[in-house]
Structure 1
Amino acid sequence: MHPMLNIAVRAARQAGNLIARNIGQQDNFEITTKNKDDLVTSIDKQCEKVIVDTLMKSYRDHSFLTEEAGLLGNPDSEYQWVIDPIDGTTNFVQGISHCAVSIALRHNGKTEIGVVFDPVLNEMFTASRGEGAYLNSRRIRVSNRDSLDGAIIGTAFPTRYRDRMSAYLVLFSRLISNCADVRRMGSASLDLCYVACGRFDGYLEQGLKAWDFAAGELILREAGGITTDFAGEEGYVKSGNLVSGNPAMLRCLLKVCEAQTLPAILK
């Protein structure tokens, strides 16, 4: 295993232990509301500190982009760790066993390492650029489904952009009319990993932040998937608007996204 990946896995497991011990135990932690749809707990902050401290022991000169603390470390470093200590905080608070630690490493802007750890199921998704994607050390691949017939698609509603909801509901209606079913799970990093290992056939979501998708997107890519924005371009890195799947499924999803819904969704 790549040394940096090995340390990221160690950091993810340490944070995951905190999540597993506290999930749903609201008497054990403080909860703060950042926005109507966005919670942070004292466990998020503890997990983040554990991750950053573990990584800093080996890579003190790197920079760290974290969901809760923002930018830490050396801002001029070629290396940047992108960290979401609990992706799916609302699930964690409510005791819904679908949340994850997400850690990615970027070198000069390119994601080189991705780790997504589900501590409840003890599932560790990992990838290094050019070396494939793995679930608990077993190689994974995206599904080979080539149409929406029978497909299971992961998504989420644009709660950060509620003015776009009516347009997104048109898209959702079109999607559900053409596929087998849709899942809204509440953890973007795990959604991407579920596409990577073939549990989902595709995934689309709007308004994500870098820490939501950096690790999962690399894992999906190393599993044979592709990610674009809703227009089929590479702007998702800045916009956080993601559509993912194998090449054939991506084309199907982009076709669903086009026409009259696209301008309203991306306004």
Structure 2
Amino acid sequence: MSTHAAVATDEQLLPEVIAAVRIAGARLRERFDIDTRSADLNEIVTAIHANDAAVLDLLRAPLEAARPGAGWAEDELAGGALPAGEWWVTDPAEGNINHVHGMTEWAVTATLVRDNEPVLTVVYLPLSHDIYTAIRGQGAYLNGTRLRTSAKTRLDSALVGTGQAKPGETRDTFLRIGRTVTAMLDKALVTRVSVPATLQLIQVAAGRMDVFWQHSDVRSGLVAGALLVTEAGGTVTDIAGNPWTTASPDFLAATPTLHAAAVEVLTEALR
């Protein structure tokens, strides 16, 4: 997975990634039905796996062809650091649980991670055809328009959010979520709890939301948003305020003027 095998710059690669997520997104859009209803857990799991199976190859084949030698992170729910080199971290149906319940908050994501740093990302919302893109050091964009995080300076005017990263989290994680949500309900203007993470992080990058945190290290839900928020001028760390990496146990993204306040509220809640 050496970066020396790269045949294109990140700038040259971006249009190919956009094309790949558009094709995958079109297939996922064809499979969407706002009136769909799953009766039980088995139906939900079957529908989720069917979406992944229908879309994955449409995403994987062109990305691997565009970046020969880059690895492919197989498990979209995995966390922790990757081996050195370049890796594709994708989610062919980010927010799959919403899709199979007839809800509209879902996307297709593809992020190139180089030596555990996201360097290029595309998040495609197939229902609205919105494309969020970022290349490290070159800014974040929505449909070609530059994104900026919000200019809010007070937490009591902030729209903040968090959510459950995946089914089957530990009881300790649920307790931490509960404690920090309660703390933010007390300090922020509005606290949103929803999934998936990427769909909240694009709002932070666009300046519509102000803070997002998560008690998890699931890579596929964080790397795209981490790059978008950073390139939009935001601050990305762990909850304690330390620099965030793919090995970090938790995650915080905020507009810079609210980051310190968010760290204070969250760390105090966890003491």
TM-score of the superposed pair, with normalisation by structure 1: 0.85
Q: What is the DSSP-based 3-state SS (H/G/I as helix, E as strand, rest coil) of the residue aligned with 2:48? A: strand
Q: Give the corresponding residue for 1:50.
A: 58
CA RMSD of aligned residues (A): 2.5
Give the counterpart letter for 2:114 in structure 1: H
Residue 152 and residue 142 in structure 1: after superposition, are their counterparts in 2 closer, same or farther (change >3 A)?
Answer: same
Residue 254 and residue 64 in structure 1: after superposition, are their counterparts in 2 closer, same or farther (change >3 A)?
Answer: same
Contact 2:96 2:106 in 1 (8 A): yes
- Deviation by residue 1:120-156 (Cα, 9 ceiling, x = unmatched): 1211100001110000111110001111121101211
Percentage of matched positions with identical amino acids: 26
2:70 to 62, 69, 89: 62
Is 1:254 the counterpart of 2:263 in the alignment? yes
> Which structure 2 residue ranges, 5 or more long, are not aligned?
1-9
Q: Between the two structures, name the one with larger relative contact order (CA 8 Å, sep ≥ 6).
A: 2
Is 1:83 the counterpart of 2:90 in the alignment? yes
Contact 1:67 1:85 in 2 (8 A): no
Q: Give the corresponding residue for 2:6.
A: none
Residue 79 and residue 165 in structure 1: after superposition, are their counterparts in 2 closer, same or farther (change >3 A)?
Answer: closer
Give the counterpart letter for 2:224 in structure 1: A
State the alpha-carbon separation in 2 of the partners of residues 7 and 69 from structure 1: 25
How many angstroms does 1:177 deviate by? 1.3
How many angstroms does 1:106 deviate by? 1.6
Residue 176 and residue 77 in structure 1: after superposition, are their counterparts in 2 closer, same or farther (change >3 A)?
Answer: closer
The runs of at least 4 consecutive aligned structure 1 residues that moved more than 3 Å come to 24-27, 30-34, 66-70
Q: Give the corresponding residue for 2:48.
A: 40
2:100 to 86, 89, 93: 93
How many angstroms does 1:118 deviate by? 1.1
Residue 22 and residue 130 in structure 1: after superposition, are their counterparts in 2 closer, same or farther (change >3 A)?
Answer: same
TM-score of the superposed pair, with normalisation by structure 2: 0.84
State the alpha-carbon separation in 2 of the partners of residues 139 and 2 from structure 1: 16
How many angstroms does 1:234 deviate by? 2.4
Residue 235 and residue 76 in structure 1: after superposition, are their counterparts in 2 closer, same or farther (change >3 A)?
Answer: closer
State the alpha-carbon separation in 2 of the partners of residues 175 and 211 from structure 1: 25
How many angstroms does 1:41 deviate by? 2.2
- Deviation by residue 1:199-226 (Cα, 9 ceiling, x = unmatched): 1011111114111111111011000011
How many angstroms does 1:46 deviate by? 2.3
> Which structure 1 residue ranges, 5 or more long, are not aligned?
none
Q: Give the corresponding residue for 1:211.
A: 220
Contact 2:90 2:220 in 1 (8 A): yes
Q: How does 1:1-267 map to 2 (within 5 A)?
A: 2-24=11-33, 33=45, 40-67=48-75, 78-157=85-164, 160-259=169-268, 261-263=269-271
Contact 2:217 2:247 in 1 (8 A): no
How many angstroms does 1:239 deviate by? 3.4
Residue 198 and residue 51 in structure 1: after superposition, are their counterparts in 2 closer, same or farther (change >3 A)?
Answer: same
State the alpha-carbon separation in 1 of the partners of residues 189 and 230 from structure 2: 24
Q: Which deviates more, 250-259 or 164-173?
A: 164-173
Contact 1:115 1:215 in 2 (8 A): yes
How many angstroms does 1:65 deviate by? 1.0
Contact 1:84 1:103 in 2 (8 A): yes
